Structure 1
Amino acid sequence: MTTTGSGADPEDQMWWQKPFRMFQTNIREIDAGLDVERVLDRIIDYGANTWLLSVGGIVSNYPTKLSHQSPNPWLADRPSGDLIGDATAAARRRGVRVLARMDFSKVARRIAMEHPEWLFVGPDGRHQVYQGLTSVCPSGGYYQEKVFEVLDEVLSRYEIDGFFFNWMSFNEIDYDKAYRGVCHCVSCRTGYAEEFDGAELPVGPESPGYAQWRDYTSAVIDDLLARVRAFIAERRPQAPLIMGVTADMVFHEANNAIGRELWPALTQERVSLARSYRPHVPVLVNSVAFVDMPYRLVSEDPRHFAQYLLQAMATGAIPSTYIMGVPDEFDYASLRAGAEVTRFHRDHEEVYHDLVPSARTGLVCPPSGRHGESLSGSQDATDEFRGWWQALSADHVPFDALDLRRLGEIAQSGGLERYRLLILPDLGPLDEDVASALDQWVERGGRLLGTGSSGFASGTSQLASSPAASRLAVLDTPETTWSSVVLTDPDDRSTALPILGALHVTTLREGAQRFGAVLSRAPYGPPEKCYGHLPLQTPAGAVVQHGAGQGAAMFWTPGRAHRHLGLSAIGEEMTRQVRSLLGGERDVETDLPAQVEVIMGRSRAGLVLHLNNVSGRRHQGYSDPITIPAGRRLRVLSDVQTLRALRAGVELERDDAGFFILPEISDFEVLVGQ
């Protein structure tokens, strides 16, 4: 690997926009005497070529001269007294890049006592103290000023190839997972009052103005990150900043946690949201090899861990592995599965060069946190989104996840134009500019499908492309009475499906074609009184022509019903509407079982299809998948003449109907088309 000094050529300065593989050793103070050559042996054998190493912040693993930093006392175990100097020199000799992990979220007791103005202050006036460390606030002088002194010291001494900032946030929750409230330090009170005409800070999520405060803190961190990014770029242009969606590289940590319900597609979802917003900005998925921080000695299940890396790789992200301590000390069983995926990425690096999403169906995601949790206070929209995710995946409809909060920017940049179909799953009112952009996109030939509350504001449809003119009522499903939707299949046989959630009673625009019929409610019991369920004039859904495109709506929440009940008939009705809107322009046709996901992208190598076998999926994890025998078939809309299966190492043959004949699929296969 070429040394990237100030005189490096421009292409090498952008090394992080090419495929690479990272390995993080999240070292403890006592690990400062680690054998850098042995660690590099393990990293290289694993298939990685980049090392994320703790450099400074809470503990400095180099001999810092700054009074507001805390040198690691175990540096005395090294003859040089400088772990970072030894690591960067050895890594440079062996062609491995070093990224610096910085954690400025806390300071030692001495520093906290000298600078109380830097510290987090809860609504109760208390600081956050844990293991002798005190949390600081991003609004205060430590983050706003002293961080730059640390970066300057590190950059002046070492050839660091990039930076990652850990836990850069307004710490409402401490390490014990106790809620500590909104920070009320002097900097926060002053800044918030200046921004909002003297307004007082909220206390927590139940306080008026909490959402406004979250927006304010996001702006504070975005501004700070922009300054950090500019500072680093001026001194070392080839060193990216790895952080949020507006940094040089987006960071996602794929992890498990005790008590958190598993959403199996979370890694793919997070990467897809970032790549559909900025397709050419790299995303790094740091996959945790252990179960949870309190159980950091316990290996993650190997199949579960492999899924983090497989989903990252399939969506064009950088696969990365994260362990506690140093290799060899904890024998994580998950690493053997992780090495298999990481080495595949290494051996087929050309396939992942400039790999970007290329599906022509987009599924819009409601505002959610980094673990996919709802930020709106209601789980309903998240359930509707995930139900659609499951239905599309099972029917092998390749799709991207699009962030509702970024939809206006995506539209403004022309990013909607590659989509044939967009799905709006129970998203509620839309921003005016988003509604207008969607209408214009449909008018140019797009297909739009909304469900539930999407695009309704004050009883009026915001979308001229929607078949709904207005909303007359919203009928929630109570516990004691139930409603059904009667949907007609292509053979005119009626199938009754349950409404779970809300039915939106609407008037239709002129020319809208209704589909399905709603049945009236009936008593829950006793059985002698369980009659009713008569067809009403209320439509279950409708479709209308709008310019060169079509707008469709399902006036109930089929995704939510599918997510909670798992009825295949609901998923089939959902994808029947999708197929109807796509017409004959499906990206993929295949007879693969529903448990094999198809993820589509394009890279310098051509069309790239990842076939991810998730047949081993369980409620909270994974077991070994069932091997899919050779002989299944797949056809793609793209004009490809050949498909090569990389794991099987064969060119695929085609039958008379133009379908490629697939090889045996164990856990995954990757197809590359020309």
Structure 2
Amino acid sequence: MPLSWTRQPLRFLQHLLRESDARDLEVGTLIAEMKRVHADACIAMGGGFSAWYPTKLACQTVNPHLNGDFLGDFLHAAKAEDFRVLVRMDISKGRAGVERERPDWFVRKPDGDFSAVWGMPQMCATGNFWQVEVFAILSEIMENYPSGDGFFFNYLHVPRCHCSRCQKIVFEATGKPVPALGTRDPAYEQWRQNYLADYMGRVRSFIRARNPAAALVPYHHVRDGWNIRRMAEIADIVGSQVSNPIMPNPVDPQPSWNLWAAEEAQLARALKPDAAPLLIQTTSAVFASRQTAMPPARLVNNLMQAAAHGGSTAPAVNGLLAQDDARFVPSLDLVSAHLSRHGGWYANLQSTARIAVLRCEASRMWGEDAGRSAGAPSGEGHVAEFRGVCEILTDLRYPFDLVVAPEVTLQDLARYDLVVLPAVSCLSDADAAVVDAYVEAGGTIIATADFAAADGWGRGRANHATRCLPALPGESRSAVGAYFALRGEALRNALGGIPHIAAAGPFWAPFAQGEVGDDLRIIGPFVNNAPEFTTVEGEGVEPGLVIRTFGKGRASWLPWRVGALYHRYSMPDFRDLFGALVTRTVGDPPIRTNAPAAVEVISRDHPEGLILHFLNRAASQTKGLAELAPLAGFEVSVETDAEIAISLVNNEKLPLTRASRTVTFRVERLDHFAAIVLPRSATKGETTEE
């Protein structure tokens, strides 16, 4: 198959060259740097607002510092070394000043002025540059440089434009004008999502007709205006940013949380399971000040998390490795050398999860997050709840996958014993029917917060969406100063036998006082929190845990933000409570360890055995991960028929003890990461290396 190379992860390096780097730049220098970090693929500067080859087209400007043909020379040298090369295109912006020469190409504000990003005018998606000139550029590159392996389209989206052409097209499609700035309209958002997907479908067909072996990789760091399912169908490789910089992009703030690489890798696998995602990781600590190095602890963690989930690691270096602030380079050396030595163990990885978490684009778009990739500033909404649930499961050592709504299918859910729906406030009728079918057939769900309060476009519901949980959440009230009573024996035991835990945040009462089997009945809130009056009285009224059987399955509802509260405050009671509900369905976690919660455990199945990663996320209290804090040893137990355990970091065999089907080994010290393989007995411990 011409694109079979996209199925397995590669070790990318992206030299994000500055135009001035072209002065006296030797292609051999880039090749040497790629070899140094054991890369086998790269993204090369190509066309768009800055052409890195002697184009004959007037629609793009040749890099003024360029001498000769960088793209041609680089491709010749890279292919001689058997590197995969994607050509970078940026069609989102133009060079400053071009808007005066070609005003019909560019985005207009409501007042008629040109819109700019980073001081560069934005390209209008309906204008002739996108509609005509982009195809001319692609044709020129493919004709002159047929050895390229595909195209990487950077910062790709349909920006809001108020030019007369866009106004006419949008009105004909939606019956409404382009919304004013700051206004979010479902019809317009659907239009621009579909417009981008249709356009990139044309681009893909154009590329395929000329080179069936060339891959298409659309990319935007926060996927502004994307229908992620349609874009994944069009893409040959799902491209995502996982950069997690110390200080995010001030223009379009990206997420900043410990599991971003895991989220994007799992999201890509959910959308396109047969292709390894391309996960872009900056080596810059500050997005707006790119010439500052990412701290080693953070960079290693992000790259190894991406690799452990089967993604192609893609460090993006602003310039060359040889630069003024090159503190990130030893980290690249460490990770790339490891992945190069043991590349076979990072191919064909499969999930071991029995749990799925629903990532709901409709809830992110039309709930409290209002479309923000980083979530609502309030710390509430689907994004915060989703992150918190993922963090709880990770901290409890439960592997999980992601499933994506809208358009979730019963097949997506049926493979899992438990599906978590974190603050899925906006749920379409079709997706609600799938949830019902899953539960009715014997599945278990845990829903949280304002579940299904609105339809898939954020319009409030008059009637409940699901039959398995036949109620609307209704209006919330504050639970600050209240308590949840622990009545059930299992929940009490999970919390050490205490009678109640603190409540906080918004609380909904969809079933009023609930049924006999419901739990976590709310006591309070108590207005007077002076220490002399802080007695907890009463058995509670409305339940904070609703449980209903439906068909052969069970639906549980926590009508409060257990995930968002954990994400923000790391409250252990909330983690243990949620863990008790998970254990009720899937049993104990498959990996048991006495390592602290700062150790992230990732388990993946491999044709030759099980591979476990232990990532050190220990950081200074209240601070993000920036410096390495080595951790003392810990024990790990897992069910397996493996007879040996091998550390890929130093190729040493670890002593094992066995009790029935459970083996236990010890990691003596954890620096950045440990990678342990438990080969199936038939392989007798032979490691797979490139």
TM range (shorter): 0.7 to 0.9
The Cα offsets for residues 446-489 of structure 1, whole Å up to 9 and x where unpaired, read as 211111221345475433233xx4358544217xx622112241
| 1: CA distance, partners of 2:433 / 2:329 | 49
Select 1:127's aligned residue among 110, 114, 118: 114
Select 1:90's aligned residue among 67, 70, 77: 77
The Cα offsets for residues 464-519 of structure 1, whole Å up to 9 and x where unpaired, read as 233xx4358544217xx622112241288334322222222233899872223221
Runs (5+) with no aligned partner, structure 1: 1-9, 172-181
Indicate the residue corresponding to 1:136 in structure 2. 123
Matched, 1:24 2:14: yes
Indicate the residue corresponding to 1:161 in structure 2. 149
Q: Normalising by structure 2, what TM-score?
A: 0.85
| 1: CA distance, partners of 2:59 / 2:203 | 18
Q: How many residues align?
A: 636
**Partner letter of residue 647 of structure 1?**
V
| 1: CA distance, partners of 2:6 / 2:620 | 33
Matched, 1:283 2:282: no
Matched, 1:238 2:213: yes
Indicate the residue corresponding to 1:597 in structure 2. 600
Q: Residues 605 and 672 of structure 1 are in contact (CA less than 8 Å); yes or no, is this contact kept in structure 2?
A: no
**Partner letter of residue 227 of structure 1?**
R
Matched, 1:355 2:349: yes
Indicate the residue corresponding to 1:325 in structure 2. 319
Indicate the residue corresponding to 2:188 in structure 1. 213
Indicate the residue corresponding to 2:58 in structure 1. 67
Matched, 1:629 2:633: yes
SS at match of 1:151: helix
Indicate the residue corresponding to 1:435 in structure 2. 432
Indicate the residue corresponding to 2:329 in structure 1. 335
Map of 1:497-576 to 2, 5 A cutoff?
Answer: 497-507=501-511, 513-526=517-530, 533-576=537-580
| 2: CA distance, partners of 1:37 / 1:302 | 27
SS at match of 2:633: coil
Change (3 A) 1:471 1:14: closer
SS at match of 2:238: strand
| 2: CA distance, partners of 1:93 / 1:567 | 55
Select 2:675's aligned residue among 650, 670, 673: 670
Q: Residues 380 and 564 of structure 2 are in contact (CA less than 8 Å); yes or no, is this contact kept in structure 1?
A: no
Q: Residues 306 and 334 of structure 1 are in contact (CA less than 8 Å); yes or no, is this contact kept in structure 2?
A: no
| 2: CA distance, partners of 1:53 / 1:240 | 14
Runs (5+) with no aligned partner, structure 2: 220-230, 366-370, 455-460, 681-690
**Deviation of 1:24 (Å):** 1.0
Matched, 1:200 2:181: no
* The 10-residue stretch of structure 1 (242-251 or 365-374) with the greater mean CA deviation from structure 2: 365-374
Q: Residues 541 and 553 of structure 1 are in contact (CA less than 8 Å); yes or no, is this contact kept in structure 2?
A: yes
SS at match of 1:482: coil
**Deviation of 1:85 (Å):** 1.3
| 1: CA distance, partners of 2:118 / 2:473 | 58
Change (3 A) 1:493 1:107: closer
**Partner letter of residue 403 of structure 1?**
V
SS at match of 1:561: helix
* The 10-residue stretch of structure 1 (651-660 or 425-434) with the greater mean CA deviation from structure 2: 651-660
| 2: CA distance, partners of 1:472 / 1:325 | 52
**Deviation of 1:564 (Å):** 3.1
Change (3 A) 1:14 1:473: closer
Change (3 A) 1:377 1:123: farther
| 2: CA distance, partners of 1:516 / 1:132 | 54
Matched, 1:607 2:606: no
The Cα offsets for residues 371-398 of structure 1, whole Å up to 9 and x where unpaired, read as 8423799833322222222221111111
Change (3 A) 1:288 1:416: same
Indicate the residue corresponding to 1:39 in structure 2. 30
Q: Residues 262 and 620 of structure 1 are in contact (CA less than 8 Å); yes or no, is this contact kept in structure 2?
A: no
| 1: CA distance, partners of 2:497 / 2:301 | 40
Select 1:263's aligned residue among 257, 261, 273: 257
| 2: CA distance, partners of 1:167 / 1:26 | 14
Change (3 A) 1:188 1:379: farther
**Partner letter of residue 442 of structure 2?**
G
**Deviation of 1:109 (Å):** 5.6
Change (3 A) 1:108 1:290: closer
**Deviation of 1:666 (Å):** 2.7
Identity between Structure 1 and Structure 2 (%): 24
| 2: CA distance, partners of 1:201 / 1:61 | 35
SS at match of 1:231: helix
Change (3 A) 1:222 1:606: farther
Change (3 A) 1:555 1:472: closer
Change (3 A) 1:37 1:51: same
| 2: CA distance, partners of 1:470 / 1:296 | 50
**Deviation of 1:15 (Å):** 1.7
| 2: CA distance, partners of 1:472 / 1:241 | 43
SS at match of 2:518: strand
Indicate the residue corresponding to 2:648 in structure 1. 646
**Partner letter of residue 27 of structure 2?**
V
SS at match of 1:316: coil
Indicate the residue corresponding to 1:185 in structure 2. 163
Matched, 1:170 2:175: no
SS at match of 1:428: coil
Change (3 A) 1:122 1:346: same
The Cα offsets for residues 75-114 of structure 1, whole Å up to 9 and x where unpaired, read as 33xxxx1111111111122222222111112234675334
